[in-house]
Amino acid sequence: MQVDWVLLVMVAFPIWAALDYFLGRRAKIMAYLGQPSSFNLEGEQSAGVRTHSLFIANVGRREATNIRLGHKTLPEFKFLFPKLAKAPAPLFQVSALPEGKEIIIPLLAPEQQVTISYMYPASLSIAEINAYVKSDVGAAKMLGVLPLSPYPVWLSFLAVQLLEIIPITVLVYYAIIKVRP
């Protein structure tokens, strides 16, 4: 059986391009916990205080909607950054659930990151505060480390383009060689 390489390239390339277009252009939520800290306040009323931060980022190419952060216990002192002074809608809302509370962020643009810092008494732990992070596109991927881009954007772009162009070039080359007598 002889393979018709021209036909194979003509059929496979549009399918490959369509999959790349539709699967690559969506919202993708990533979350990671900042370093927890513990402080002892001294004075007449000495007490222990803990803090930590939750970073939420949309690393996809589309807007993420209805990002929900579940909390078993939501501390009274929380700070959301960036805080918009004059926003058309509130940046976040807090809703009560049967087993805790939920912070709802209505919209997170592509490449946008939000930081939520918590301060709570030493009797609570992180596991008793944060429960989940999810959105309309699914659950967020929780990372254990701060994600950093190890290479410049132009180099990553060049590598992806080469990984796409080289196989296509090889297929077209073999298709032309097989067509010629």
The CATH number for 129's domain is: 2.60.40
Contact predicate 170/8, CB 8 Å: no
For residue 120, is it within any domain?
yes
Measured CA to CA, the distance from residue 65 to residue 112 in angstroms comes to 12
Distance in Å from the first CA to the final CA of the chain: 17
* Grouped pLDDT means (10 residues each) for the chain, 181 residues: 80 82 79 86 80 88 88 81 55 83 88 87 85 88 72 84 87 80 62
Report pLDDT for 63: 87
For residue 24, is it within any domain?
no
For residue 174, is it within any domain?
no
For residue 28, is it within any domain?
no
For residue 88, is it within any domain?
yes
How many C-beta atoms lie closer than 10 Å to residue 69's C-beta?
24
Report pLDDT for 68: 92
Report pLDDT for 87: 44
Domains of the chain: total: 1
Hey, is 25 helix, strand or coil? coil
Residues 6+ apart with CB under 8 A from 88: none
Contact predicate 56/108, CB 8 Å: yes
Give me the helix-helix angle, 5-24 and 153-179, nearest 10°. 160
Q: What is the pTM of this model?
A: 0.65
For residue 15, is it within any domain?
no
* Domain hosting residue 92, numbered range: 33-143
